[in-house]
Structure 1
Amino acid sequence: MTDAVTLEQQTAAAVDQFTQTFGQPPTHAAVAPGRVNLIGEHTDYNDGFVLPMAIERQILLLARPRDDRKVRLASTGVPEQAELNLDQPLAPGEPSWANYVRGAIAGCIERGLTPPGFDALVDSTVPTGGGLSSSAALEVGTATLLESLTGQPLDPVQKALLCQKAEHDFAGMPCGIMDQFISAMGMADHALLIDCRSYETRRVPMHDPDVVVLIVNSNVKHELVGGEYAQRRAQCEAAARTMNVPALRDATLDMLDEAYPDPSDVAFRRARHVITENARTLAAAEALAAGDWAAMGQLMLESHTSMRDDFEISCKELDILVELATRRIASGELYGSRMTGGGFGGCTVSLVRADAADAVGKFLAHQYEHITGIHPALFVTRPAAGARVVEL
């Protein structure tokens, strides 16, 4: 189980690295967290509901203004640096990691922010490739940094939307709004219920110190994921057209039964997942608000079954982790578990009793490695705060 590096520790090390890289210390800083989705998977681009929380792993950006219109970007995680000219139109390029930054800068400029040239260093404690939205954190962190550099605040919803557009246009990923919204608007000790149609949000309290979230990275990412996300999105949109509704958010199970007499039809199963997942997400928000951990846990298990069987985005390794987790429910140590993120690998998320988190984590790690031969990465988190400027 890995312990979180505090933001103070992360900042101190990053300031030293910035000074080594650019020759002078940074003057501005911003941070944006990764996220885990408690429930509500593949509902966001169907105008539905999601219930994510920010995690205690974040991307930190340090910057110092320049006297010209040049932007120099470096990262502690990769050796390749990038250089941009703010007097020229920004476009995707190499290195690819900088496209998230390029896109967020372009979106900020479109909304009237006029940044100077600057040097910037990116440092991350968000695990990459595990579905914890390091990309959204980088986009939102960049926009928050530009707010600090320009002294021009953005509306949080507009900031999240410009960052979503950055991912579409500069990274080629047709993501929904969840990742950017929770990174921009997360709150400590709260999950965030997001209506992905109206953009309305409701903070759902998770104050109980006796319950924590255990994230287990399966450390697998199956290659078939390449076009699967776009394929699922297209299948959902086609099912909505068949039922003559604007989005699957508007469909009911009765409408689905009428439109697809054969329940084995792929479109039927894709749509059934979204319809039932929306209902589960709304129920989960109420369970969390009431502190009903058993009800929340059951909804998480039902969500995983739906993703495994109807949406077909799970994989053997994720299923093993969830099955292992269910063995700790009877003892009261664990309430529920599910895969989280886009699918085909990545992480599971579990609600665990805080005083049992270490024992549960060791059990899952040992058993998973025994069965698969893969050593997982685990960490415990509480709901964290969203993006913000950091005082240096």
Structure 2
Amino acid sequence: QPEQVTMEDCLGRTASLEELHHEVESLFLREFGCKPDSVVYAPGRVNIIGEHTDYNDGFVLPMALPLVTMMAGKRIESNVVNVVTGGKDVTTRLTPGSPKDICVSFPVPDPKQERRDGAQRIPDVEWANYVKGVLVNYKRLCGAFNSAIVSTVPLGGGLSSSAALEVATYTLLEQLFPIDHPVTPVEKALACQEAEHVYANVPCGIMDQFVSVMATENHLLCIDCESMRVTQVPFQNPHVVVLITNSNVRHNLGSSEYPVRRQQCEAASKAMGKRSLRLCTLEDLEAAGIEDETIKRRAHHVISENARVQQAIESLKTTDYYRLGALMNESHASLREDFAVSCPEIDLLVDIAQRQPGVYGSRITGGGFGGCTVTLVKRSHVDDLMKAIYDGYASPERRPTFYVCNASGGAAVFNTGT
């Protein structure tokens, strides 16, 4: 019989950059017998609004989180890359359930050969393929190195643990193998996206990598996924916070339904004679006479969600959090009804949150079929909100995990004392 979950069990594990630095340096020393030359980190993200719009050339409005993946590294004289991951109380294990540090070694990849013969994935250790994929897509040939990884980004919760690992890897390579002509932030993000496409077989949009690379503290990042232009949107109020609630539920539909949603969106834009749903209006949708009701509803979500992102930015200009919250609520209803990517556990979390005092709005975030909700709430009410969710959701079989967050900065080199 599972033990009863307590409220304290549900508070997400976080750590300061200094704590993570101590842990990753200790792990590196334990595994390789010396200190690293460089330490870098990259954040996970939560999307405030703009879901399933990025691969339709639309708009998204994510923020970087204080939850990060940190990597330490040192060049070595060899032809092998050695990467170790571990974790203690504050960090997430990249290999769930493993009580020990896990070290993976693979030959330094030859990008030309990998592109000619196809990606040579590392069997049985999925996270290592993200690292290798970035090496293949880095803008110069890399040599051998040792590396250690620790992370506070939860796995499988829709908070972009994969993008955080990719961007941290690229940032480490920039330190270990500098490029004569530094790449732009967009090029860096696209290289990481390509790594995920090819080495993880995930046809993701550009949002996750863009925000992990380009976020600035106290700002949301509006990304125009067609032009790839980014706009920093101020988001700082000491009386307002973002609560992320991880349902700790992941339905297997997610991996199979994601490409189906993409295909349905492409079918809808084709039926309207447009390159993407970004270029379509609700009037276009009605005039097209699409007979397949499912495809029509998928398009309705994307077109209306793009409009909601634009309205959200306008609401932030006047710090109208009530309007922003209402848009988040509308987004969840659309994702539940039109795009059909929610699930009963997520709907319960959102319903509880939306009924609590001090809550502006709440919705599912991420790809769907489980994962996390994002809630905009008054700081003065966040403890009561977590208690209400705990009371209404937690059971011996499941528990929520809470993270109270403000908008954080993007990938960076860790410097002691900063």
TM-score (norm 2): 0.89
Q: For residues 81-122 of structure 1, give each alpha carbon's deviation from its aligned partner in whole angstroms, at most 9, with x where no partner exists.
A: 3222226445322222101001111110xx2x2333110011
Counterpart for residue 12 of structure 2:
2
Retained in 1: the 8 A contact 2:47–2:62? Answer: yes
Retained in 2: the 8 A contact 1:139–1:163? Answer: yes
Number of aligned residue pairs: give it.
384
Counterpart for residue 133 of structure 1:
160
Of the three residues 198, 222, 226, the one matched with 1:169 is: 198
Retained in 2: the 8 A contact 1:206–1:289? Answer: no
Identity of aligned residues (%): 45
| Cα distance in 2 for residues equivalent to 1:3 and 1:225 | 25
Counterpart for residue 358 of structure 1:
383
Q: For residues 240-272 of structure 1, give each alpha carbon's deviation from its aligned partner in whole angstroms, at most 9, with x where no partner exists.
A: 11110000001111111122365x700100000
Q: What amino acid is aligned across from residue 364 of structure 1 in structure 2?
A: I
Counterpart for residue 237 of structure 1:
266
Q: For residues 336-355 of structure 1, give each alpha carbon's deviation from its aligned partner in whole angstroms, at most 9, with x where no partner exists.
A: 00000000000000001112
Counterpart for residue 45 of structure 1:
55
Counterpart for residue 62 of structure 1:
72
Could you tell me which runs of 5 or more consecutive residues in structure 1 were left unpaired when the two chains were aligned. none
Counterpart for residue 83 of structure 1:
105
Retained in 2: the 8 A contact 1:51–1:281? Answer: yes
Retained in 2: the 8 A contact 1:69–1:87? Answer: no
| Cα distance in 2 for residues equivalent to 1:241 and 1:141 | 37
Counterpart for residue 189 of structure 1:
218
Residue pairs, 1:1-392, within 5 angstroms: 1-2=11-12, 4-76=14-86, 77=93, 78=95, 79-86=101-108, 88=110, 89=113, 91-94=120-123, 95-108=125-138, 111=139, 113-152=140-179, 153-260=182-289, 265-328=293-356, 331=357, 333-369=358-394, 373-391=397-415
Q: What amino acid is aligned across from residue 338 of structure 2 in structure 1?
A: D
RMSD between aligned residues: 1.4
Give the deviation of 1:297 after TM superposition: 0.0
Q: For residues 21-65 of structure 1, give each alpha carbon's deviation from its aligned partner in whole angstroms, at most 9, with x where no partner exists.
A: 111111111100000000000000000000000001000000011
| Cα distance in 1 for residues equivalent to 2:300 and 2:109 | 49
| Cα distance in 2 for residues equivalent to 1:2 and 1:131 | 15
Retained in 2: the 8 A contact 1:129–1:346? Answer: yes
| Cα distance in 1 for residues equivalent to 2:392 and 2:143 | 53
Retained in 1: the 8 A contact 2:109–2:136? Answer: no
Could you tell me which runs of 5 or more consecutive residues in structure 2 were left unpaired when the two chains were aligned. 1-10, 87-92, 96-100, 115-119
Residues 280-289 or 88-97, more deviating: 88-97
Secondary structure of 1:215's aligned partner: strand
| Cα distance in 2 for residues equivalent to 1:52 and 1:391 | 26
Retained in 2: the 8 A contact 1:35–1:53? Answer: yes
| Cα distance in 1 for residues equivalent to 2:172 and 2:13 | 26
Give the deviation of 1:154 after TM superposition: 2.4
| Cα distance in 2 for residues equivalent to 1:38 and 1:132 | 11
| Cα distance in 2 for residues equivalent to 1:315 and 1:98 | 30
Runs of 4+ in 1 over 6 A off after TM superposition: none
Give the deviation of 1:358 after TM superposition: 1.5
